[in-house]
Amino acid sequence: MYWEQKSTEIIKGEVLTALAHNRNYRSSAVLGLPASYLDPEVFPPDAAFLEDAPFAKVFMENPNHIGCHTLVGGESAFGGTHALERDLIRICAEEMMDAPAAGYDGYVASGGTEANIQAMWIFRNMFMEQYGIGSQHIGILYSSDSHYSFYKAGNLLQIKTFEIEVAEESRQMSVDVYAAAIRKAQAAGVRCLIGVFNMGTTMFGSVDDISSLLPVLKASGMPYKVHVDGAFGGFVYPFSNKEHALTFNNPEVSSMTIDAHKMLQAPYGTGIFMARKGLMEFTHTVEASYVLGGDSTLSGSRSGANLVAAWMILNTHGSEGWRTKIAGLLALTDELCGILDQMGIAYYRNPEMNLVTMRANQIPAALAEKYLLVPDSHGENAHWYKIVVMDHVKPAILRSFIEDLQAACAPMA
């Protein structure tokens, strides 16, 4: 895995050059697009800071990235920033997730939810077309710790969903429970399966053991496809764990979600969807005839600014800089866990992730509120509270939390 670290000046130059290759609403004749730059009353284009703020400048110029630009050229008016999107997808797919050069498609979706639904949509259409079956014969298998976007996908696409219980301590699906879920799906008339595997679940940061479960999926004898949800862990796990089977390096993995608006600290609206070549075509909407190059994405119109932010962040750090940043967050997470161990506070943590999920019965509600710990369920039903160690979670804040927790635990000791 390698991409270069670039200076601020170089990044600025490349973004502005890309923007200069777009059709400019101000300086050229654009009559047919139902779009324009941002309202100049609210966003004055001559604000002095814009010259040094390439992201804000792209945001103001408002390029539309409708369509999938690894697949087809797309609307030529925004070719400059389309090229940056292709480069962003290249870094994520080839450098981070081991995809073969030009062996993938991808686009910047509104978020992890859309990217996950895009994957389910592709596989549903593929199975329906290849096997001539109705959507009710397709099932998604995922752990009970998976994100709720898979329930949305099942509902929207009218495919069956099978939630598989995880073990309380390890947060893993066992081979037996997985096999039982497949039998249940078969009994419910499912003939094709979509296996979802998490690279960092929302509440626990747990990583599904794909190596032990794939053989079970294979043994079912049913056609299947595999999607990896790395919405949370995608910018962490590949940097902390070199030996895993959750990337395109594994020939069984067909698609992936990673979110730049979580760990990468890009603005909301920067989910990244990637799939092996030959899959996006299954969601090609032929009726999108007014869009040059057509549309195979769920989104329709989407901003060209968000991807520029993600591209700038990745190039500002370079792969080694990002690895160092993640190592720092993990070291801080280690420290937190060490203190929790000393205090006898029960928690779950994947050692290669920056998320610590503590048993709620050992955390006073007032502390959870003070430090905005996120529960697994709001109200009286919280069983767990999580801490996500990110950029803003400084050692001093963690120290303060620990001191408060020690003070709260003292009378009980």
Residues binding ligand PLP: what is the number (CB under 6 A)?
Answer: 13
Closest to ligand PLP by CB, 198 vs 315, is 198
Residues 263-322 that bind ligand PLP (CB under 6 A): 271
111 counts as binding ligand PLP under rule CB under 6 A:
yes
Specify the 3-state DSSP secondary structure of 199.
strand
Q: Distance (Å, rounded) from C-alpha 23 to C-alpha 62?
A: 11
User: Least separation, in Å, of the C-beta of 145 and ligand PLP?
Assistant: 9
Q: What 8-state DSSP symbol labels residue 49?
A: G
Closest to ligand PLP by CB, 75 vs 208, is 208
User: Least separation, in Å, of the C-beta of 201 and ligand PLP?
Assistant: 6
Cα end-to-end span (Å), the chain: 48
Residues 57-86 that bind ligand PLP (CB under 6 A): none
Which range of residues in 106-114, 180-188, 306-314, 320-328 is near ligand PLP by CB under 6 A? 106-114
Q: Which two tokens stand for residue 68?
A: 């999938």
* The only residue of 65, 147, 225, 302 in contact with ligand PLP, by rule CB under 6 A: 147
Closest to ligand PLP by CB, 82 vs 147, is 147
Nearest Cα neighbor of 69 from 24, 29, 22 is 22
Mind spelling out the 3-state secondary structure of 100-121? CCCCEEEEEECCHHHHHHHHHH
208 counts as binding ligand PLP under rule CB under 6 A:
no
Residues 227-266 that bind ligand PLP (CB under 6 A): 229, 231-232, 259
| E strand or H helix that includes residue 80 | helix 79-90
For the residues of 122-191, what is the DSSP string, one character each?
Answer: HHHHHHHHHH---GGGEEEEEETTS-THHHHHHHHHT-EEEEE---TTT----HHHHHHHHHHHHHTT--
Nearest Cα neighbor of 161 from 169, 170, 152 is 152
Which range of residues in 66-74, 105-113, 179-187, 371-379 is near ligand PLP by CB under 6 A? 105-113
Q: Distance (Å, rounded) from C-alpha 233 to C-alpha 391?
A: 15
96 DSSP β-pair partners:
none
* The only residue of 22, 125, 202, 357 in contact with ligand PLP, by rule CB under 6 A: 202
Closest to ligand PLP by CB, 147 vs 160, is 147
Residues 328-367 that bind ligand PLP (CB under 6 A): none
Closest to ligand PLP by CB, 142 vs 401, is 142
Q: What 8-state DSSP symbol labels residue 236?
A: T
User: Least separation, in Å, of the C-beta of 100 and ligand PLP?
Assistant: 25
Residues that bind ligand PLP (CB under 6 A): 111-113, 116, 147, 149, 201-202, 229, 231-232, 259, 271
